[in-house]
Amino acid sequence: PLVNSYKRLRTSFEAPVYVTWAHINRGALIRVPSLAPGEEAHTRLELRCPDPSSNPYLAAAVMLQAGLDGIRQKLPLQDALEETLLGQDQSRLRRIEVLPASLGEALDALSQDDVIMSALGPYISDRYLAAKRQEYDEYNRQVTAWEVERYVNRY
C-alpha cells in the first residue's frame, strides 16, 4: 500500500476500519453475503482490506497464511457484526480491533507479526519494510500546498 491508501480508511466512507465480519454490513472487513436457503453451496467471501496498489501475489500469500494460522490454532470466530458502528458508544468501539490508520502504523504492525513475516520470508520482508519505511519518511518530510496555504499567514 501507499501513504495515500490510508486516507480512505474512515468510518464515514463505508471502508473497512474495524476488524469485523458480517453478512450485510458493508463496513465490515470481511463480508459473507447471505444467500437464499438451499443456495449455501454458492457462498462467497468479500475481503475488503487489500488496497488496489498492493501486490496481489503478496497479499494473497499473507492472507492465506493468516487464515491457515487461525485454523491451526483453532482461533474462535467472532460473532458477525451487522450494525453500523458509526456513532456507537466509544467504550464498545475500544473493544473492537482497528486497522492501522497510516502506513507507519501498518509497518510497525507488520514488523511485529511473526505469521506474516514468516509468510514473506526474511529476504522479502526485510527489503519491503526498508523500502516502505523510506517512502513513509520521505512522505513525512514533505510540506504540502495545503499546509502552506493554511498556516503561512497565521503564524
Instruction: List, for residues 98-137, the tens digit of each pLDDT value.
Output: 899 999 999 999 999 999 999 999 999 999 999 999 999 9
| Stretch 16-20: mean pLDDT | 85
Contacts of 8 (CB under 8 A, 6+ apart): 15
Give me the amino acid identity at 36: A
Contacts of 129 (CB under 8 A, 6+ apart): 107, 110, 111
Greater pLDDT, 82 or 115? 115
As a whole number of angstroms, the distance between CA 107 and CA 131 comes to 11
CB 138 within 8 A of CB 38: no
Mean pLDDT of the chain: 88
With a cut of 60, say whether residue 90 has pLDDT above it.
no
pLDDT tens across 21-62, in order?
998 887 789 998 877 788 878 888 898 888 889 999 999 999
Q: pLDDT category, 16, cuts 50, 70, 90?
A: confident
How high is the pLDDT of residue 93? 63
